Amino acid sequence: MDFPEELKYSKEHMWVRLEGDRAVIGITDYAQAELGNISSVELPEPGDELEQDDSFGSIEARKTVAELYAPLSGTVLEVNSELSNAPEFINDDPYDAGWLVVLEVPDAEEMNLLMAADVYEDYVTNGE
């Protein structure tokens, strides 16, 4: 299981990489392993407004559909359009090719509500 230290994590198994006032967001290595082979992804549209902890899409895997919850509030700037044809990128490379959305984040203070890598690793290793 991979827990990159430069990222922040939510209890809903989302990761965030802050790049100035932009946040790249995806699901964690732990989440993709739990879901199994991902077959499709439903993502918001650029321009959509997201509120922290609100559902913004879903991921369908072999026997389940999982809701995606926004780890931060913001405006969707980009979605990973590659995932419509190749959702397996999420399984193969959840922290790079498998990213989901990029948000413009007006309040980076929300990052303080997310977990550091070691805290998230403990969260998934020792039970939620």
* pLDDT higher than 90, residue 102: yes
- Residue in the block written with tokens 């967001």: 25
The answer, yes or no, to whether residue 114 has pLDDT greater than 70, is yes
- Residue 62: the pLDDT is 86
Across all residues in the chain, what is the average pLDDT? 95
> CA-CA distance, 39 to 71, in Å (whole number)?
23
CA distances from 53 to 50, 85, 89, 114 (A): 9, 27, 24, 11
At 128 the pLDDT is 63
According to DSSP, the residues that pair with 50 across neighbouring strands are 74
CA distances from 124 to 24, 34, 97 (A): 22, 11, 23
Give the separation between CA 33 and CA 47, rounded to whole angstroms. Answer: 30
Counting beta carbons within 10 angstroms of the beta carbon of residue 68, is it exposed (0 to 12), middle (13 to 18) or buried (19 or more)? Answer: buried
Residue-wise pLDDT tens digits, 7-42: 999 999 999 999 988 999 999 999 999 999 999 999
Q: What mean pLDDT do residues 53-81 have? A: 95
CATH architecture for segment(s) 8-126: Beta Barrel (2.40)
The ranges assigned to domains in the chain are 8-126
Residue 108 confidence (pLDDT) = 84
Contact, 92 vs 99, CB < 8 A? no
